[in-house]
Structure 1
Amino acid sequence: MSEKSEIIFDKLVYSCAFEKYRGDEEFIPEHFLGFQLSGETHAFSADGNSIVKENSIVFVRKNQLIRTIKYPSKSGKYQFVSITMDNEILRQYALENKIVLERNHQIKHKLFFEADDFLNAYFLSLSPYINKTKEATPKLANLKIREAIELLLQSNPDLRYILFDFSEPYKIDLEEFMNQNFMFNVSVEAFARLTGRSVSGFKRDFARTFNTTPKRWLKEKRLDEAMYRIKQKREKPADFYLDLGFENLSHFYASFKEKFGFTTSEI
């Protein structure tokens, strides 16, 4: 059985699975707070790998790429609940509470932090909505999101420098970013946003930097990495083709032969 994701109310999503499940490549456009009810989530990003263990809370900041593998618990069930804090609600909250940030304040954000009694109780309070014993009105849903913001700030006041940073992503080094994130199978639009560019600006800067198109460069880069993994690390294509952004194994084999002129078994 594949994963089941259900939107309980506008910003609350409940995910459930009964077998190991590999999630899609995800572009995270908004901050979210998540709670691992059961099982584990193994998350992969350009910053490294992380494991979200059962009964742990995770705060994921916006504008990043993440790939996940979801493992059920010993009881056979994977459950994860997340609540999104979008720009509109955060802007309203900042205005109402007269929050002004110091300029150039840097904060090192850890993906995980120790949950206190208040945050644990908060996620328990969402159970009636997940179990469908209670329906959330738009007003109540808004209050639950604001409560999450309050509890996050209570847990770590410095998170305000992340939550209430409404500046547009600045234009970052394209070559460095693409070499760190080429394995993510996401749209050109996502890559453009993450590098602080419009789609047309991204394509223009990409051609200037790499002297080719994004699609062609990504394919070549992934195949070169595949060759390295097969030849130097002795890995099998079936074990890594998804990690390199290929959608299926037959597409990988055809692309590999087209580029190198021989099959992987002939190496």
Structure 2
Amino acid sequence: MMEYKARYITDDIKLSSYEDKFFKSDIMFDDHMLVWFLSGETKIVQSDATYFFKKGDIFLIPRNQLATIINYPKDGQPHKTVVMHLSVETLRSFYSNKNVKPKPLQSPKICSFSNHPLLESCLASLIPYFDMKDIPEDIASIKITEAISILRTLDKDIDDVLANFEEPGKINLVDYMERNFMFNLPMEKFGYLTGRSLTTFKRDFKKAFSTTPQRWLTQKRLELAHYQLTEKGKKPLDVCYEVGFENLSHFSFAFKKQFGIAPSQLAEQC
């Protein structure tokens, strides 16, 4: 059983700790997430980039972005982070009296602010509060406002990300799925991100691909896995999680059924 612990100041600020060997999840964040690493390592895989973060790193994951997140302990220390949610509601309130017109962004990137003293001192000042029973009222909103103000000082383009409150519009389904099939999300989420209800998503998918989403996704993930093993020389365990499977045994079974050889055997031959 994975040993996961989280301590909260409010729902928007938590101290997160994974003691296990590693933890993997495919995620679409509803809020922007500001993360400060205390220990451990994280690999974040997106459709067009892979990021590695470690102790001391600070980064912002924009909302509505798909990512596979793999958390590892490191040097005998658990994977431990301070996480601050910058919700649409909070940001609307922050920007309500500011004359900011964000430029539209197709797909905002993860922003890294590693080891920045201002941000680090803001986030480090939260640590004592996680052990307090009676937390001062408004401390979370004060700290979140401070963090947003610092981000705006460090990055002149950050308003384009933080002050953009649009929901995903209807976009080209084929293009989107071809870029994001390796993320293991509920169909409702894929529907939302392509600007569709679940019913419309399934109908449009059938029309575009002449099959069900689940069959198509499995096929695409297996094809990518075969490529990663044979052309990139990756290990079966890494490939399994990066292409969208939830565990190695299911991946191995599906791979052998498709290609007639287990991924571990194929890796040995390459």
With structure 2 as the length reference, what TM-score do the two structures score? 0.84
CA distance in 2, matches of 1:188, 1:120: 38
Alignment correspondent of 2:125: 125
Whether the aligned pair in 1 keeps the contact of 2:104 and 2:160 (CA below 8 Å) is no
Letter in 1 for 2:117: D
Deviates more, 1:11-20 or 1:49-58: 11-20
* Shift in Å, 1:214: 0.8
Counterparts in 2 of 1:3 and 1:69: CA distance versus 1, 3 Å: farther
CA distance in 2, matches of 1:62, 1:136: 28
Alignment correspondent of 2:12: 11
CA distance in 2, matches of 1:27, 1:108: 13
Counterparts in 2 of 1:94 and 1:203: CA distance versus 1, 3 Å: same
Whether the aligned pair in 2 keeps the contact of 1:107 and 1:161 (CA below 8 Å) is no
Alignment correspondent of 2:200: 201
- Name structure 2 gaps, 5 residues minimum: none
Letter in 2 for 1:147: E
Alignment correspondent of 2:113: 113
Q: Secondary structure at the match of 1:157?
A: coil
* Shift in Å, 1:54: 1.5
Alignment correspondent of 1:185: 184
Counterparts in 2 of 1:39 and 1:251: CA distance versus 1, 3 Å: closer
Partner deviation per Cα, 1:164-192 (whole Å, 9 max, x = no partner): 11112122332222122211111112212
Counterparts in 2 of 1:32 and 1:229: CA distance versus 1, 3 Å: closer
- Name structure 1 gaps, 5 residues minimum: none
Q: Secondary structure at the match of 1:26?
A: strand
* Shift in Å, 1:159: 0.9
Whether the aligned pair in 2 keeps the contact of 1:40 and 1:51 (CA below 8 Å) is yes
* Shift in Å, 1:83: 0.2
Q: Secondary structure at the match of 2:98?
A: coil
Letter in 2 for 1:57: I
Please show how residues 1-267 of structure 1 align to structure 2 within 5 Å: 2-8=2-8, 9-18=10-19, 20-74=21-75, 76-95=77-96, 97-101=97-101, 104=104, 109=109, 111-130=111-130, 132-133=131-132, 135-137=134-136, 139-230=138-229, 232=231, 237-260=236-259, 262-264=260-262
Percent identity over the alignment is 36
* Shift in Å, 1:103: 5.4
Deviates more, 1:246-255 or 1:24-33: 246-255
Partner deviation per Cα, 1:59-98 (whole Å, 9 max, x = no partner): 1110111222323343523311110011111111221x23
Whether the aligned pair in 1 keeps the contact of 2:45 and 2:242 (CA below 8 Å) is no
CA distance in 1, matches of 2:223, 2:76: 41
* Shift in Å, 1:43: 1.4
Letter in 1 for 2:127: S
Q: Secondary structure at the match of 1:63?
A: coil
Letter in 2 for 1:70: N
Deviates more, 1:11-20 or 1:202-211: 11-20
Q: Secondary structure at the match of 1:52?
A: strand
* Shift in Å, 1:140: 2.3
With structure 1 as the length reference, what TM-score do the two structures score? 0.85
Whether the aligned pair in 2 keeps the contact of 1:5 and 1:13 (CA below 8 Å) is no
CA distance in 1, matches of 2:162, 2:71: 27
* Shift in Å, 1:21: 1.1
Letter in 2 for 1:6: A
Say what the alpha-carbon RMSD is for the aligned residues: 2.8
Q: Secondary structure at the match of 1:196?
A: coil
Q: Secondary structure at the match of 2:55?
A: coil
CA distance in 2, matches of 1:106, 1:189: 21
CA distance in 2, matches of 1:135, 1:159: 34
Aligned length: 264
